[in-house]
Amino acid sequence: MTVRQLSLPELVAACAESGIGKVGLWRAPVQAYGVREAAALVRAAGLAVSTLCRGGFLTAADPGERAAALADNRRAVDEAAALGTDTLVLVSGGLPAGGRDLGAARDRVADALAELAPYAETHGVRLAVEPLHPMFAADRCVVSTLAQALDLAERFPAHQVGVAVDTYHVWWDDRAPAQIARAGGRIHAFQLADWTTPLPAGVLDGRGQLGDGAIDMREWRGRVEAAGYTGPIEVELFNEELWARDGREVLRETVARYLEHAV
C-alpha cells in the first residue's frame, strides 16, 4: 500500500531493484491481477509475501452480513495460502450502523475468530489481529489497543491467532511496551509508519514517512525484537503525497528512511 501507484509487476521489479526480499500485499490488487497469477509473479522474482492484508470486518450483528463476512475471510485465508504467506492480518471492523456497544462488537469478533482460526490453521495460515488507533474505533476497528487484541488472541493457540503491531496505531499507548512483552510469540506481524500532524480529513491517509513524525522507530523495533520477534518488518504508509510521487522513488526513499531511523 505504501506504493499503491505501482502495478504488481512494477512493484515486484521495484522490490528487486531496492533489495527488498519480502512484500506485504493487499487483497484488492491481488484479486484484480488474479491470485494464482500474483503468486506466480512474486515467486518467479524470488520475492516472498510477508503478510496478506486484510481480512476482518467481523462486527456485523445481522446474520446475513455476518455469514458473508465469514465467507469472505475464508477466501482471504485461501488467498494467503495461495500466495505462500503464513500470516493474514485482520482488522476487526467498527460499530454496526447506529451501534453504540463496543463491548458487544468485540464479543462478535471473538466469536468469529473461533470459527476462522481452525479453518486458517488447516491452510497453514495464522491470523494476526491488528489493533487500530482509537480514532478508528467507531467506523473501522473496535479493537483499539494491543491489550484488547491480546485478550482476543489469547483465547486461541498462538499458532492460530496472534497480533499485528503497527507503530502508527500503538505509539501513544503507555501500556503498549508491556503488552508487546506479554505478546511474545504472538507477534505475527510488525509494521512501521510515523505519526504526522495535522491529520487529513477522514484521518485514513495521513501516515507519515519514517522519520517525519513523532514516533521513535528504533525504540519500538527494539521492544518487538526483545519480545522475541524475528519476522519481517513492513513499512505501511497510507499517504496521498507519497502516492502522488513516482513509486520506485518512494520505495528507495522508504528503504533509506528505514535504514536511517529503524536500524
Whole-angstrom distance, CA of residue 228 vs CA of residue 21? 21
Enumerate residues 6+ apart whose C-beta is below 8 A from 204. 238
Closest contact distance (angstroms) between CB of 241 and a copy of itself is 14
Enumerate residues 6+ apart whose C-beta is below 8 A from 73. 55, 56, 58, 90, 112, 116
Does 107 help bind a copy of itself (rule: CB under 8 A)? no
Cell triple for 61: 450483528
Does 213 help bind a copy of itself (rule: CB under 8 A)? yes
Selected from 82, 104, 158, 203, the binder of a copy of itself by CB under 8 A is 203
Site string for a copy of itself, 3-32 (x = CB under 8 A): ------------------------------
Region from 41-49, 95-103, 121-129, 250-258 binding a copy of itself, contact rule CB under 8 A: 95-103
Site string for a copy of itself, 144-183 (x = CB under 8 A): xx--x----------------------xxxx---------
How many residues are there in the chain?
263
Does 102 help bind a copy of itself (rule: CB under 8 A)? yes
Is the peptide bond between 54 and the residue preceding it cis, with omega within 30 degrees of 0?
Answer: yes
- CA distances to 54, 165, 188 from 74, in Å: 12, 23, 19
Short-list 115, 9, 7, 100, CA closest to 58: 115
Whichever of 48 and 204 has its CB closer to a copy of itself, that residue is 204
Whole-angstrom distance, CA of residue 25 vs CA of residue 88? 10
Strand stretches in 78-179, DSSP E: 87-91, 126-129, 161-166
Closest contact distance (angstroms) between CB of 144 and a copy of itself is 5
Does 231 help bind a copy of itself (rule: CB under 8 A)? no
Region from 17-25, 80-88, 180-188, 209-217 binding a copy of itself, contact rule CB under 8 A: 209-217
Cell triple for 220: 519500538
Does 133 help bind a copy of itself (rule: CB under 8 A)? yes
Closest contact distance (angstroms) between CB of 92 and a copy of itself is 13
Closest contact distance (angstroms) between CB of 97 and a copy of itself is 10
